[in-house]
Chain A
Amino acid sequence: MNQTQFETRHGARWLSFDAALKGLRRRGEAREEAARDWPREYRQLTHDLALAKSRAYSPELVDRLNLLALRGHQRLYGARGNLLAGMIEFIGGGFPALVRRESLVVWIACALLFIPMFGMIALLQHAPEWVHYFLAPDQLRSYEQMYSPANRSLGPRHNADSQLMMFGYYIWNNVKIDFQCFAGGLLFGLGSIFYMLYNGIQIGAVAGYLTQQGYITTFWGFVAGHSSWELIGAALSGAAGLKMGWALVAPGQMTRVYALKQAAVPAVRLLYGAAGMTFCAAFVEAFWSSISSTPFAVKITVGLVFWALFLAYFLFAGRGRDAH
């Protein structure tokens, strides 16, 4: 059969396949009409394409069939889930279950963040002058100003209408740190390790210095509320980065690229969760932590309650679904 015969015999079918593809995008009856015979028509089309290729019909015809088949392929195999239902399932159990499944990298990330942090706090209580190795003088001065007990409102800046501004700033800054910790994982994990240690040391240096200066109520009162959201978020995004980094360092039986692809899926799910927590942290920080009229005891209690809730959430939520 030559090409012209082939085209006259099957051309009408290709046109109707094209029309059905368009019909599938509509709703209601038109869609059902189009969907009825569609998979069979698609298989027929793939057959035509294979024939056209093996008989070396003109490139124009082969390309045309290839394009049709590609659109059919995308339609048939391009599954897309329900975004909202997925999110609810994730928060309701998928996220903590994932954190437990990846507990090794999570623990390592926590160690990389929290050990330097508490180490710095402890160190600066005994040797306050060491702070100069880690923070510049003008940084110290601005931190002192922010948390000076003489301030009416706490935290960076203190204008009544600045809450929304600080909300924006916190989101930008904190989620950026999360992304750095995560994306650094692609450099064989070294970037993640660096950013985790760096942030642990920085946070520890500021906290240690201000504690040693005696700004306990102002500083700890300010950070208590959002500390759990923010620090756990940072640790989990670092864990996600380490997960990818480890896949590159030790891919096992797979090629490095394939191992990375496999690791990227849980890693990015960890990152969603972490970024969501950091986003909430910014909210708490701007609208709760900055209120100076709340008593110190209440602020600390709320902070501790958040920590306890998160601990329970990551330990127990979604246990039932671990099985599958």
Chain B
Amino acid sequence: MLDTLRRVPTPEGIELTLRLAGPVPRAYAFIVDLMIRGMIMLVIVQILAFAGRSGTGLFLIAYFAIEWFYPVLFELFWNGATPGKRAFSLMVVNDNGTPVTVGASIIRNMLRAVDFLPMLWAFGLLSMLFTRDFKRLGDLAAGTVVVYRDKPRRAGTMAQAAPRAPEYALTLAERRAVLDFAERHALLTEERADEVAAHAAPLVGKAREPAQVLLGIASHYGR
């Protein structure tokens, strides 16, 4: 849960948190973009079919422009996301969390050529798997990361239970984990919730319903 977060210190002395996107959602986004580019090219081919040899030339120019500038233009002028990225709530930002700059966007997209090598984006995938922030080579050179575009969460999703003080004081990270559990409780079956809660053995002991114990502690710390 915590290892896909990137913390960005700001000049105001606080830390902002970015949620990083891994290879799978990025691959989905890529496929959507590929299909969109393909459709644009199909339309262009239909139009240029009437223009004969000049049409072939215009087609090559259009293909070139779309292949190399489609991602750059969208990243710069559409909040850091191509349509594919937007469809999966992803966006490109600089390492420090600010919107991607012209130079960085061009670097990361020109270097797609290297990420593709030796075949089918193998270098890019390996690089994503071995770097801390799921960066492909283009991201490394440009100093960018792909993150989730967070939507405001709905309030009041926390499960309710009778407050219950834990037997010892929890650290901040532990409290946060307990509260996260309470917020996600609704998404789990009861058996699974108990199973997960049982991992917090020092807190829940040998209780029959460990999930309820954790929920109680959560509402103790919650409101």
A residues with a Cβ closer than 8 A to B are: 2-4, 42-43, 46-47, 49-50, 53-54, 56, 58-60, 63-64, 66-67, 69-70, 73-74, 77-81, 83, 86, 159, 161-169, 171-172, 175, 179-180, 182-184, 186-187, 191, 244, 257, 260-261, 264-265, 268-269, 271-272
Contacts and interface: CB of A to CB of B under 8 A. Distances in A.
Interface string B1-32: 00000001011111011100000000000000
B113 A56 contact: no
Interface stretch (B173-181, B199-207, B209-217): B173-181
Q: Which 4 A-B pairs have the closest CB atoms?
A: A168-B60, A168-B57, A165-B57, A164-B57
Interface residues of B, number: 57
A269 B54 CA distance: 32
A69 B176 CA distance: 19
Contacts of A4: 223
A260 B135 CA distance: 14
A42 B12 CA distance: 9
A264 B153 contact: no
Interface of B: 8, 10-14, 16-18, 52-61, 63-64, 93, 96-99, 101-103, 106-107, 110-111, 113-114, 117, 137, 140-143, 150, 152-153, 155-158, 172, 175-176, 179-180, 183, 221-223
Nearest to A182: B110
Given A169-B57, A187-B117, A264-B107, 19 more contacts: A46-B12, A46-B14, A56-B172, A60-B157, A63-B153, A64-B155, A67-B150, A70-B17, A77-B96, A78-B98, A79-B101, A165-B53, A165-B54, A165-B56, A168-B58, A171-B64, A184-B114, A261-B143, A268-B103
Contact of A260 (B54, B93, B140, B155): B140
Given A70-B16, A83-B102, A183-B113, A172 B60 contact: yes
B41 to A, nearest CB: 13
